[in-house]
A and B are shown apart, each in its own frame.
Chain A
Amino acid sequence: MKRQKLFLTLGLLAAIAGSWPLTSTIALLGPAEAATTNLGDLTPFRTIAAESKALVDKGDLAGAKARIKDLETSWDEAEPSLKPRDAPAWHVVDKAIDRSLAALRAGTPDAATCKQSLSDLLAIMDAGGKL
């Protein structure tokens, strides 16, 4: 009876350890993305970034700071959907968003820095997070 318990317990641990390669195989066999970039369609996020940039270009830094918060929240909400598609690319875009947020939220935001960070962000989004 004790031996039976031991084998069952070892079998359980082996099954859990063995599920890793099985899961990775299933994950890799998943539906292929037809989109040009692995992250898929980033249009909703790009739109907000573009609008923020337009506000910065007009000199309305406060307005841009308010608008870009919508990007922060919508990007954050979509993380569970986007990150699994391409985690490294997701991180590239995420860091670019963080840089824009930091620029616009600085104590005294510098218009040139804000413009540059948003341009970079748009370029990165258009490249789907691929550098």
Chain B
Amino acid sequence: MIEKPGHNSRILSNKVPEVTLAFWVIKIMSTTVGETGADYLAVHVGLGTALTDAIMTTLLATALLLQLWTKRYVPWIYWLTVVLVSIVGTQITDALTDGLEVSLYVSTAAFAAALSATFAVWYGSERTLSIRSIVTTRRELFYWLAILFTFALGTASGDLATEELGLGFNLGTVVFGALIAAIGAACALGANTVLAFWLAYILTRPLGASLGDLMSQARGYGGLGFGTSYTSLGFLAVIVALVVYVSVEDSRSRRRREQGGPA
């Protein structure tokens, strides 16, 4: 049952996409591309961390305003926002770890707490955490805040696993992939889908990072040796293709609904 918002606010159609296979693939790949893109600007182009962080935060603010302003889910705007949230979420964790020397144990715990608090306030206000009823701006703000914290938490916990367990990208891809698969299986067996969705979402951050590393790192290090540039461009091409596909499907089903038929 979808809870109607209890306050006077603009009711929109659901602003965020259905959770499909395409959704997960785009999500995982946009994580990788976001990270390599920001790193490229900071190191290769030589802008440095502070300037790159500032640029990305500004771009995120712009994209988020655009995303909040639209009246329905527009795939390219939504996924652009996701990529930028991915970058900024990563940069926040990196700034804490590298800049302020905050321990990864502390940042992992802090972001887990922040994410839980976001869900608590969201649920207290809206009585539902369902991502199928992000139909008001207020709910959408909760949604994006949660997304930001999942990226920060995913970065912190992934980095923690690397540092404390020596978890490399080969084993990392297997482990994070297996955990997500286990969550999927639990879902099929009846586990709470909201909890399962958000846990899987957090895990896609370290999975995306490991997968990108697996593809880009040198053969001598156990990677596939495609290099960062080609991996990023390849992933970006897949993202664009999938977003185009999703957009076409989305406008098709909207036309069918407008004509009175089933979606």
Spell out A's residues near B (CB within 8 Å).
1, 4-5, 8-9, 11-12, 15-16, 19, 23-24, 26-28, 30, 69, 72-73, 76-78, 80-87
Contacts and interface: CB of A to CB of B under 8 A. Distances in A.
B217 A80 contact: yes
Nearest to A77: B228
Interface residues of B, number: 35
Given A24-B165, A81-B221, A87-B163, A5 B191 contact: yes
B165 A23 contact: yes
B43 A5 contact: no
Contacts of A27: 165-167, 171
27 contacts: A5-B190, A5-B191, A8-B189, A9-B192, A12-B183, A12-B195, A12-B196, A12-B199, A23-B165, A23-B167, A23-B171, A24-B164, A24-B165, A26-B171, A26-B175, A27-B166, A28-B166, A30-B166, A30-B168, A30-B171, A69-B46, A72-B43, A78-B221, A80-B217, A81-B218, A84-B168, A85-B168
A4 B162 CA distance: 35
Nearest to A6: B192
A84 B218 contact: no
A81 B221 CA distance: 6
Contacts of B44: 73
Nearest to B43: A76
A69 B48 CA distance: 12
Nearest to B42: A76
Contacts of A9: 186, 191-192, 195
B191 A8 contact: yes
Contacts of A86: 166
Interface of B: 39, 43-44, 46, 161-169, 171, 175, 179, 182-183, 186, 189-192, 195-196, 199, 209, 213, 216-218, 221-223, 228
Contacts of A69: 46
A87 B162 contact: yes
Contacts of B179: 16, 19
Nearest to B174: A26
Contact of B186 (A12, A72, A78, A83): A12
Contact of A15 (B182, B189, B216): B182
B165 A80 contact: no
Contacts of B195: 9, 12
Contacts of A23: 161, 165, 167, 171, 175
B217 A78 contact: yes
Contacts of A84: 162, 166-169
Given A5-B191, A9-B192, A84-B168, A19 B175 contact: yes
A81 B213 CA distance: 8
Contacts of A28: 165-166
A76 B163 contact: no
Nearest to A82: B221
A9 B163 CA distance: 29
Contacts of B46: 69
Contacts of A30: 166, 168, 171
A24 B63 CA distance: 39
A30 B170 CA distance: 11
A1 to B, nearest CB: 8
Contacts of A5: 190-192
